Amino acid sequence: MIRRLFFEIRYLLRLAPWDTGISPPELMRFINSHPAGRAIDIGCGTGTNAIALAKHGWNVTGIDFSSQAIARARRKVRSKGMVVDFIQGDVSTLDKLSGPFDLSLDIGCYHSLPLSIRAPYAERLGHLLRGGGTHLMYSFLSLDGEHNPRWPTEESLRRHFNPPFEIVAIEHGSDQSRPSAWFTMRRNT
């Protein structure tokens, strides 16, 4: 409840620094190199990335638990005359979704989930993605050997997502001096 209130207030006051209004180059590179299909944007915020996908022909569903973020996303889509399905729901269970999806996108959502929810989240996501589908995820990281229980390690990601996913690419970086990475995962068939 407190987590939800935190996000509601941040979106209400427009103090959500993660909501830049710009789709990252990693997503745009993916969009430009893959045929459109059905996508889910997990923790979609105000819909920036869901809209980018829809502009490129994807059938998109965005989910976020902030009613403020979802309301803004719906207004943005209406103003552009586009169709994107936005759902206010709990990303930790993904219970309001039905697959199969060809792509799941998670930019900063997984790393903000409580530790106890991460493995069930990955398992449920495995049921939503079609065999051969892609899970594209950005996350802050704890470097292996560093003790920081808030952010996942590469090892914990491999453990939570395999099976049914295989990590096929990792692009390391940093965000405000925090280690981070883009993970490209393929759903096993």
Confidence of residue 81 (pLDDT cuts 50, 70, 90): very high
Q: What is the pLDDT of residues 112-148, one digit of tens each?
A: 888 888 888 999 999 999 999 999 999 999 876 565 6
The CATH number given to whatever domain includes residue 22 is 3.40.50.150
Q: Which residue intervals of the chain are DSSP H helices?
A: 2-12, 25-33, 48-55, 67-80, 115-128, 154-161
Name the CA radius of gyration of the chain, rounded: 16
Confidence of residue 70 (pLDDT cuts 50, 70, 90): very high
Number of domains in the chain: 1
d(CA 26, CA 88): 26
Tell me the Ramachandran region of residue 29: left when phi exceeds 0, alpha when psi lies from -120 to 50, beta otherwise: alpha
Confidence of residue 6 (pLDDT cuts 50, 70, 90): low
Domain that holds residue 27: 2-187
- Residues with Cβ within 8 Å of residue 11, at least 6 apart in sequence: 19, 45, 46, 66, 68, 69, 72
